[in-house]
Amino acid sequence: MPFPDIDPVAFAIGPIVIRWYALAYLAGIFLGVGYGMLLLKRKSLWVKGNPPMTPDELFDFTFWIVIGIIVGGRLGYVLFYDPLAFAANPAAIIALWDGGMSFHGGAAGLAIAMIVYLWRKGANVLSGLDLVACCAPIGLLLGRIANFINAELYGSVTTMPWGVVFPGGGELPRHPSQLYEGLLEGLVLFLVIRFFTHNRLALRRPGFVAGVFGIGYAVSRIFVEFFRLPDAHIGYLAFGWLTMGMVLSLPILAAGIGLIVWAQTHRDA
């Protein structure tokens, strides 16, 4: 099928251009914060009825969430995906308008901001990471839809009927790998986590939900990487199929397994 006629620019006000990608980031953050506030209000979901922060504290923390995601996401892209180019032109590091963000870096930046904040206030850090895990799939879903609108990060050539002919991707249809990721890392993972938080009361086991997220994200990302083309300047790292995305997902997978083991062996409900 042909690529839908969607302008990556949502609107422009004079010289100021607002892209769907930027709006997706903002919407993901604020919808995630809104959902997190709803979870925090349900004290019965949390261990001993004690959530890691109040809804008002989460709202006040939104600024640091934005900074953590943007700084971490950009630095992650610089370090993991194109360090030599940025070393040759350090000024390009701050050129966010040219694109280039890493989910792994953004997740690390957000996690660090949350850990420091909760540690300083003496709250349960693992419960804070659980809160982040509950909300992150919302941003992932919107971000991957924005990748599709930008006609970037598409997949290899396919004969499947839902293949898309992307601008710049040649004349043959390709896997819409952005939508695969949005579906698995976003919608499906959100529903899985929702099941654990509300049907299995998993937030009463600090670290468990963060572990579910880590495993779910890593497995989904590694699976989709088999269909998604790697960045052109990196290519495959080995074997004709190993990508940087796969490699960066392995520590997240290991951390997810470790968090679930910890939560199961250190129950405090």
Detail the residues annotated as belonging to a binding site.
144
Could you count the other beta carbons within 10 Å of the beta carbon of residue 54?
A: 12
DSSP state of 204: G
User: In 3D, which of 130, 126, 172, 147 has the Cα closest to residue 245?
Assistant: 147
Q: Are 181 and 220 in contact (CB under 8 A)?
A: yes
User: In 3D, which of 139, 142, 157, 167 has the Cα closest to residue 7?
Assistant: 167
Distance of CA 143 to the CA centre of its chain: 8
**DSSP states of 72-112 as a string?**
HHHHHHHHHH-HHHHHH-GGGGG-GGG----HHHHHHHHHH
Per DSSP (E only), the strands in 48-188 are none
